[in-house]
């Protein structure tokens, strides 16, 4: 059976910001204690052997908390460690082929950054879309142009799949993004780059729950 999908607070782990493999496991566990609902492993420059080792460690750490582990791009790693799902970008393997490889029971996410890509996201194949970068980000150097809150809001009005906002998101953005129609927010540096990832996650959750907007 496909794991339940709760996109409310989606942590994308980055090895540079989390201090390597063990740092990623520690960050993920702290962030889960703070309310993160789903975790993605993303390491564009890693060799496959490192991917497998850290994916296995993360899966073992997250399973007892029933938090799904999503693997960015590397379907072989996802299958090997029996991750909950895979996330692909526009330049990665096409969603239909990814679905063929992972079968019906794993979560499939797709990155989109404009209305054309959103319209092309195949329903019944993709489980959720990651929409961004909504704001400027220093984490993904090859990110598409910034969407901005206004365009993000019109994308959310037209969406037919669960959607998580990504890119430059921190405290002060969450309430507006959820009001715009996002099903959750995905962050890297707002949790990975923080001294206390648990408190950072808690603060983001709190903002989503009570709808406050920081100046």
Q: Is 133 in the site for ligand TZP (CB under 6 A)?
A: yes
Query: Is residue 189 part of an annotated ligand binding site?
Result: yes
Instruction: Between 20 and 138, name the residue whose CB sits nearer to ligand TZP.
Output: 138
Q: Is 41 in the site for ligand TZP (CB under 6 A)?
A: no
CB of 160 to ligand TZP, least distance (A): 21
Q: Is 184 in the site for ligand TZP (CB under 6 A)?
A: no
Query: Is residue 124 part of an annotated ligand binding site?
Result: no
Residue with tokens 């019944």: 124
Query: Is residue 179 part of an annotated ligand binding site?
Result: no
Q: Is 147 in the site for ligand TZP (CB under 6 A)?
A: no
CB of 97 to ligand TZP, least distance (A): 21
Q: Is 27 in the site for ligand TZP (CB under 6 A)?
A: no
CB of 82 to ligand TZP, least distance (A): 23
Instruction: Between 42 and 99, name the residue whose CB sits nearer to ligand TZP.
Output: 42
Binding mask 82-121 for ligand TZP (x = CB under 6 A): ----------------------------------------
Burial of 47 (0-12, 13-18, 19+ CB in 10 A): exposed
Q: Which residues are annotated as a binding site?
A: 72-73, 92, 111, 137-140, 168, 188-189
């Amino acid at each position: 059976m496909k794991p339940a999908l709760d996109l409310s607070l989606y942590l994308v782990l980055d090895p540079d910001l989390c201090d390597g493999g063990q740092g990623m496991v520690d960050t993920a566990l702290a962030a889960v204690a703070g309310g993160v609902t789903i975790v993605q492993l993303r390491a564009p420059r890693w060799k496959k052997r490192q991917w497998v080792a850290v994916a296995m460690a993360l899966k073992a750490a997250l399973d007892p908390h029933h938090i799904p582990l999503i693997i960015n791009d590397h379907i072989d790693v996802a299958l090997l460690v029996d991750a909950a799902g895979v996330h692909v970008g526009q330049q990665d393997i096409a969603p239909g082929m990814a679905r063929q490889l992972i079968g019906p029971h794993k979560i499939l996410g797709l990155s989109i950054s404009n209305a054309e890509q959103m319209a092309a996201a195949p329903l019944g194949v993709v489980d959720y879309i990651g929409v961004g970068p909504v704001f400027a980000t220093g984490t993904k150097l090859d990110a598409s142009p910034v969407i901005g809150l206004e365009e993000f809001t019109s994308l959310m009005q037209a969406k037919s799949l669960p959607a998580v906002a990504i890119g430059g998101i921190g405290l002060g953005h969450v309430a507006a993004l959820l009001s715009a129609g996002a099903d959750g927010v995905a962050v890297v540096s707002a949790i990975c780059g923080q001294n206390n990832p648990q408190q950072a996650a808690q603060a983001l959750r709190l903002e989503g729950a009570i709808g406050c907007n920081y100046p």
